[in-house]
């Protein structure tokens, strides 16, 4: 297991600042344009509509998702791409950065897809997954999610705030989870409620 450094800072590179240009939303995609959800095990286990492409792979970090993005996402010519990345970054990566999320979002937008970024859900039972204390882990999640929110605002992407929907005052609502990280049926229903308005805004099919 790679060690999470207590002094790690999340980088928000090339977004915000005077030269950050908003990416105009692409025109509404045709009804038959694919919708691709890319992520880790949380996405892989999500019972998405059958017509959607589930590009989730358990254990993936954002860097691993980026490396397969050109193979698992872009060839589908998606009208909408939803990116949920970061849980494995905050658990296992020495210096987590959302730079790889930024690159995936830019690639999706460059391909003409409406892009949705997601905050990562809260985590409990940190000792099961990583040697670091819950208090530090929660702070790292907050930093990651703040950076995702800032990126979405700076670049004009849609935002699905899963963390807010699955927590109270930053603490996990355990009724939505099976093991402190992965979601149960009620948890996935909550995710769907959160992302549905963003899918509608993208003109994506939701039935």
SS3 189: helix
Is residue 59 within 8 Å of residue 41, measured between CB atoms?
A: yes
User: Which structure tokens are listed for 102?
Assistant: 């930024």
Domain count of the fold of the chain: 1
Beta bridge partners of 39: 56, 84
Please state, rounded to an integer, the average pLDDT across all residues of the chain.
87
In a domain, 27, yes or no: no
Cα 122 to Cα 119: distance, rounded to the nearest angstrom: 9
Please tell me the predicted confidence (pLDDT) of residue 30. Answer: 55
CATH of the domain at 156: 3.40.50.1110
In a domain, 14, yes or no: no
pLDDT tens digits, one per residue of 164-198? 999 999 899 999 999 999 999 999 999 999 999 99
pLDDT band at 15 (very low <50, low <70, confident <90, very high): very low
In a domain, 7, yes or no: no
């Amino acid at each position: 297991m790679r060690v999470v450094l207590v002094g790690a800072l999340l980088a928000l590179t090339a977004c915000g600042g005077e030269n950050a240009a908003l990416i105009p939303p692409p025109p509404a995609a045709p009804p038959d344009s694919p919708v691709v959800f890319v992520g880790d095990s949380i996405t892989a286990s999500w019972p998405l509509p059958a017509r959607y492409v589930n590009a989730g792979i358990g254990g993936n970090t954002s860097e691993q998702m980026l490396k397969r993005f050109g193979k698992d996402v872009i060839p589908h010519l998606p009208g909408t791409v939803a990116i949920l990345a970061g849980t494995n970054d905050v658990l296992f990566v020495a210096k987590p950065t959302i730079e790889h999320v930024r690159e995936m979002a830019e690639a999706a937008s460059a391909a003409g897809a409406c892009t949705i970024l997601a905050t990562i859900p809260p985590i409990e039972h940190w000792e099961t997954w990583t040697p670091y204390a819950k208090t530090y882990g929660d702070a790292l999640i907050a930093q990651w999610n703040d950076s995702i929110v800032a990126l979405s605002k700076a670049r004009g992407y849609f935002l699905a705030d899963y963390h807010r929907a699955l927590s109270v005052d930053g603490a996990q609502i355990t009724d939505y989870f099976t093991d402190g990280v992965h979601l149960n049926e009620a948890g996935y229903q909550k995710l769907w409620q959160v992302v549905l308005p963003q899918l509608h805004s993208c003109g994506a099919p939701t039935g």
